[in-house]
Amino acid sequence: MTTNSLKTVLLMSLLTILFILGGAAIGGRGGMMIAFIIALGMNFFSYWYSDKIVLKMYKATEVSEQEAPGLYAIVHRLTQKGGLPMPRLYVIDNENPNAFATGRNPENSAVAVTTGIVRMLDDDELEGVIAHELAHIYGRDILIGTIAATMAGAVMLLADWARWSFIFGGMNGDEEDNPLGAAGAIVAMIVAPIAAMLVQMAVSRSREYQADARGAALCGKPQALASALRKISKGAQEAPMREGNAATAHMFIMNPFSARKAMNLFSTHPPVEERVKRLEDMAR
């Protein structure tokens, strides 16, 4: 198991513990189970239909081998090398240089690239980016992200319920359901959602490092992927996306919505400098 895989396991375990402890303090056993079931239902729908939803959201157009021979050749070569099924290919008409992969499993997957990234990168750099996205598919990161979102979403849902309960006087700190009492519930109501969000973002950052490493190994060109990340970072700051949903930012190879660098703790992506450094270390 690689360092990043171990880190993901530890983070997911931490998120589970946070849900159990924080959920019990906020909503008791009954509330915890109800919130988990609701969050699971919401994310189950997202898991099965997220590819259709996000592709439609960004007006992605499916392209064939005849329509995009160069892009198709890169993807076909990498999937053959990695022993992966051929994903559906989509192009998004947007100057923001970016790409993402989606789909519930390798057999039902899609890779989308913007027109901006195709124009900006050379063939080797584009191959590195595609390899990164295929690594997300190979690593089943959509499933991992859905599980993390389910746990975090349930904690946040419980916190919302707790706030309304306090407003309307419906929370009495029952000892059987919540041994910490009302004071413990108040603390958990504030701390648990923030902690859950931070852990969920840390899972996302860990998977980005993993996809960088696996993608670089797949294409055999870590320097090309490092060069692509530098260009994408600069291009994304110069031409941030104006349309779309910030909740989908974690899907892209780099956050497409803001030209400002977010604090690492609250970011869905690792710092570009650190990603580039790791890839250059791989090359050496």
Q: Are 242 and 235 in contact (CB under 8 A)?
A: no
Query: What is the pLDDT, as a whole number, of residue 181?
Result: 57
Please give the Cα distance from 249 to 271 (Å, whole number).
15
Half-sphere exposure of 215 (CA within 13 A, CB side): 34
User: Per residue in 144-194, pLDDT tens?
Assistant: 777 777 777 777 777 777 777 666 665 544 444 555 556 666 776 777 778
Higher pLDDT, 89 or 153: 89
160: containing domain: 3-283
End-to-end CA distance of the chain: 22
Closest CA relative to residue 25, chosen from 195, 187, 200, 152: 187
- Catalytic site residues? 133
The pTM score is 0.78
7 falls in which pLDDT band (50, 70, 90)? low
For the chain, what is the domain count?
1
- Is residue 4 a contact partner of residue 206, using CB atoms and an 8 Å limit? yes
Token pair 């901006």: residue? 116
Q: Based on the number of CB atoms within 10 Å of its own CB, is 231 exposed (0-12), middle (13-18) or buried (19 or more)?
A: middle
Which H or E run contains 32?
A: helix 3-57
- Tokens 């959602």 sit on residue: 193
In this predicted structure, what is the pLDDT of residue 98? 97
